[in-house]
Amino acid sequence: MKIIGKYPKTRLRRVRNNDWIRRLVSENDLSTNDLILPLFIREGKNKVESIKNMPGVYRYSLDKINKIIDQSIKLKIPMIALFPYIPKNKKNKLGTEALNQSNLICRALKLIKKNKKNIGVMCDVALDPFTSHGHDGVIEDNEVNNDKTIEVLVKQSLLYAKMGCDVLAPSDMMDGRIGKIRNALEKNKFCNVKILSYAVKYASKFYGPFRDAVGSKSMLKGDKKSYQMDYKNSNEALREVALDIQEGCDIVMVKPGMPYLDIIKKVKDNFKIPVFSYQVSGEYSLIMNGIKKKIISNDAIIESLISLKRAGSSAIVTYFALEVAKKIKTNH
């Protein structure tokens, strides 16, 4: 970029020295339209259960989620994302509970769609909450079998679509699953169901608190490096995105968020498609613990989300969604 201007005629501080001028020349802003609220759900009644290492985040029984969803609608948050905490006695090697028409996600979808018309619902398509080994697919010969896993993911996707899911979010990182899911949706007249592909999901150490939240951390055998991306790679991310767009996804996700701002920008610059980012549990917990211990101020929350917007995120899955939406409403 050619630098235009020369000191002292050009003083960049001139457009920083008042609040009103800073607002006028601001290149990025945050609105409630940018926020997606993750919601952890569990079995039982009258349950609001705190999650270890995620201060301020809870698991809710289904009779408690209406209040949270009503609050989200009132604050104009466009979408919630459902994540289930499945009891150990319902998990097995094949994750068959994922295809149970009365499972936790299906009952939540029925409840939400019966009462709430004005908010989108996103569901992860993956087997890790349902498997006894904590992996995202079917294990054969000590590895996740790509094609057999896809067969199950297609059935899971159709089940969720039938129950009213608006946005299917395959987070499994199997090769070719987007095309198979899209073809099945078209064949079964679910052509308006959207696919948000976790196209760029890294094998990250920032997922720990989330795995506690869905109950898979203690069950996970080994790691997920054979199917999630190597965090040392960036060009590979573009290949993943290109393939998923070709196969029929509507939106792509980069996960985690802040450690991968360069990837968000690279994807946004190369593909004219909505790019969502996930400010994951480890990011959330680090920020929250920093605030709690007064190492950083509460303003770091907004700064962290703006950084994701600045990099190119169209929307952000964040555990701060309710808090930030309230702040935006107050300021406006």
Give catalytic residues, as residue numbers. Answer: 201, 255
Which amino acid appears at position 275 of this protein? V
Judge contact between 125 and 171, C-beta under 8 A. yes
Q: What is the dihedral of CA 301, 303, 308, 313, to 10 degrees?
A: 90
CA distance 86 to 213: 10
Neighbours of 27 (CB within 10 A): 7
**Cα 293 off chain centre by:** 27
CA distance 147 to 180: 10
Q: Residue-wise over 176-195: b if at least 16 C-beta within 10 A, else e? A: ebbbbbbebbeeeebeebbb
Q: Residue-wise over 287-306: b if at least 16 C-beta within 10 A, else e? A: bbeebeeeebeeeebeebbb
Q: Are strands 35-42 and 58-61 parallel, antiparallel or unpaired?
A: parallel
DSSP state of 189: T
